[in-house]
Structure formats: structure tokens, C-alpha cells
């Protein structure tokens, strides 16, 4: 039997927690052009790699592709996102690789269910949970909180998003081709026993503070 030394255990930990160790990636350059049909989006099952906690990369899922416009043709990208049971969708971070055309930025919409329920030429966002026009200033930030606010007919939603199916609609109206990169972050739903332990722990801390203050 081979015995791991402290050095080899440390090296193994670095491998497991390497920045490139994402839970599930969907890259248009590898998977092929994402669907342009809002009623048949490209499927994307999010996952959480249990081998990496507590490292932050454990729940990261990377979506990479291009969108843009050539003449009158708009390259719209539709992706159906599945959040598995036992997890919640907590963040949607914009990657540093993201580019946009013009000063207005690019559009991303979010809907409940496996399809985008509204026509891309609709004058309002009625039927969407939320949307955002993202720009270069949003790189490295979480935009799911911005999308959660109701506006232009979108219903709005509460974070985090629970298990189930959702759909993303990404498009850029400026002429040219532009890269998007998003990181959909999952977190485990705590077990009931864990919630109880956390609650008791918080109560204990509160009691200790009161004793300390009045002692």
C-alpha cells in the first residue's frame, strides 16, 4: 500500500482545487453552435463537483459562446438550464472574456421552463422572469441579482433559484461577433439536520454574547 506524504496530499489538493476544475462546462467551440430556436434550446445540466469543496470552484458551471449580427441576420443563442435536485442557483457571473458591441451592451433573458416563451421581436419582456443588458463593466460580477428585479413586463424572481428547468436567451444586435462567458454557480441545499445545527449554533452564539455583555 502506498502511503501519501504531507507533500503529496498538498499537491493532490492543488490539483482538485485548480482554477480550471469546473463542475460542468458548455463551450460552443466544442459542442457546436448553440440553438437559435427558442422552443428547442441547447440543454445544459448544471452540476456540483463534491470532490472540490470547500473550494469556490466546486459549484461553478461555465457557458461560453459567441453572438452577434451579420447584415439582417441576428445570431441568437438559447440554452435550457437544469438545476438538479438538492441544489440552488445562486449566481450568474460575467467572465472576463466577455465582449460586447457598441455602448449599449448585450442582452440576456431568463425564463422559467425549458423554452423561451416570447418572440424575440416582442416589445416587452412579458413572459420572462428577468433580463439584463450587460456590458464590459459587468465582467467578474454577479448579474443574477440585477435580473431578479421586475421590469418591462418581466415578473422578477427571488434568489436563489430552486431545482428545476430554466432557459437563457442571449443576443447582441451590433454587427460583428462577440464572445460571452457566464459562470452559473450552484450551492447545495442544506440538509434539515444541518439547518437545525446552524440554528442552534446561532442561538448559542447569541446567548454567549448576552452572558458576556451582562457578566
Per residue in 56-97, pLDDT (tens digit) is 588 999 999 999 999 999 999 999 999 999 999 999 999 999
Do 104 and 134 contact (CB within 8 A), yes or no? no
pLDDT, residue 22, reads: 61
Residues of the chain with pLDDT under 70: 1-22, 52-56, 192-215
Burial call 24-34: b when 16+ CB within 10 Å, e when fewer: bebebeeeeeb
pLDDT, residue 101, reads: 93
- The owner of cell 460586447 is 100
pLDDT, residue 52, reads: 65
Q: Could you tell me whether strands 77-83 and 42-45 are parallel, antiparallel, or unpaired per DSSP bridges?
A: parallel
pLDDT, residue 56, reads: 59
Distance of CA 52 to the CA centre of its chain: 18
pLDDT, residue 147, reads: 97
**Alpha helices per DSSP H over 32-143:** none
pLDDT, residue 87, reads: 97
Does this model's pTM top 0.85? My answer is: no
Query: Which backbone phi and psi does 79 adopt, to 5 degrees?
Result: -130, 125
pLDDT, residue 214, reads: 54
pLDDT, residue 123, reads: 93
**In CATH, what is the architecture of 23-192?**
Sandwich (2.60)
DSSP state of 167: E
Amino acid at each position: 500500500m502506498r502511503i501519501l506524504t504531507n507533500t503529496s496530499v498538498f499537491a493532490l489538493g492543488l490539483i482538485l482545487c485548480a482554477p480550471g476544475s469546473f463542475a460542468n462546462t458548455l463551450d460552443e467551440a466544442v459542442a457546436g453552435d448553440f440553438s437559435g430556436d427558442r422552443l428547442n434550446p441547447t440543454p445544459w445540466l448544471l452540476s456540483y463537483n463534491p470532490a472540490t469543496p470547500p473550494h469556490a470552484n466546486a459549484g461553478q458551471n461555465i457557458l461560453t459562446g459567441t453572438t452577434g449580427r451579420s447584415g439582417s441576420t441576428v445570431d441568437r443563442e438559447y440554452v435550457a438550464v437544469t438545476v438538479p435536485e438538492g441544489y440552488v442557483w445562486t449566481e450568474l457571473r460575467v467572465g472576463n472574456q466577455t465582449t460586447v458591441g457598441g455602448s449599449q451592451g448585450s442582452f440576456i433573458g431568463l425564463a422559467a421552463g425549458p423554452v423561451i416563451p416570447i418572440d424575440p421581436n416582442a416589445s416587452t419582456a412579458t413572459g420572462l422572469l428577468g433580463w439584463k443588458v450587460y456590458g464590459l463593466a459587468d465582467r467578474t460580477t454577479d448579474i443574477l441579482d440585477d435580473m431578479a428585479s421586475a421590469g418591462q413586463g418581466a415578473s422578477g424572481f427571488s434568489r436563489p433559484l430552486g431545482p428545476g428547468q430554466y432557459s437563457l436567451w442571449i443576443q447582441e444586435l451590433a454587427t460583428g461577433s462577440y464572445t460571452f462567458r457566464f459562470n452559473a454557480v450552484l450551492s447545495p441545499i442544506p440538509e434539515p439536520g444541518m439547518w437545525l445545527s446552524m440554528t442552534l449554533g446561532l442561538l448559542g452564539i447569541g446567548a454567549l454574547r448576552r452572558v458576556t455583555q451582562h457578566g
